Amino acid sequence: MVGPVFGALLLGYFVYHAVQGDRGILAWRQVDQQIALAEAALAEVSGVREQMERRVALLEPTHIDPDMLEERARIMLNLAHPDEIVILRAGAKERSGMPASPMAPGDRTAASTVARLPVN
């Protein structure tokens, strides 16, 4: 009588740990979900990295893309072309951490929207 009861308890113990244990079926499913999330994050980060690598390649000294160089210089130096109209957005200087002050006619910031005038 003790043998079958002990066997059933032993079988129940192993079945319980096969499903609920640290290396059981439920833990295996959870690890699979974590792997899927990590692979999705890796794909997203890889896409961003490839995009950044393409932009960096445009600035390499052996073959500089003039448009990319001009874009970076304009952003870094806060400049605009003389034939452009600069439309300032309200509060652009406050958001950038600069104190609010009246704009001088020659003051052009990177926080402004720039439109090209047609050249005749």
pLDDT band at 105 (very low <50, low <70, confident <90, very high): very low
What pLDDT does 34 receive?
96
Tally of domains within the chain: 1
Q: Is residue 64 part of a domain?
A: no
**Which tokens sit at 95?**
């958001």
Domain assignment of residue 23, yes or no: yes
For residue 86, the cross-strand partners are 114
pLDDT digits (tens, 9 = 90+) for 31-81: 999 999 999 999 999 999 999 998 888 777 787 788 888 888 888 888 887
Q: Rounded to the nearest 5 degrees, what angle is found at the Cα of 114, between the Cα atoms of 52 and 66?
A: 45
Q: How do residues 7-36 score in pLDDT, each as one tens digit?
A: 999 999 988 888 888 888 888 999 999 999
- Name the 3-class secondary structure at 91: coil
**Structural domain range at position 2:** 1-57
Which tokens sit at 60? 């390499």
d(CA 87, CA 80): 11
Residue 17 in domain? yes
pLDDT of residue 118: 55
Helix (H) or strand (E) run with residue 36 in it: helix 25-57
Query: Does the pTM exceed 0.75?
Result: no
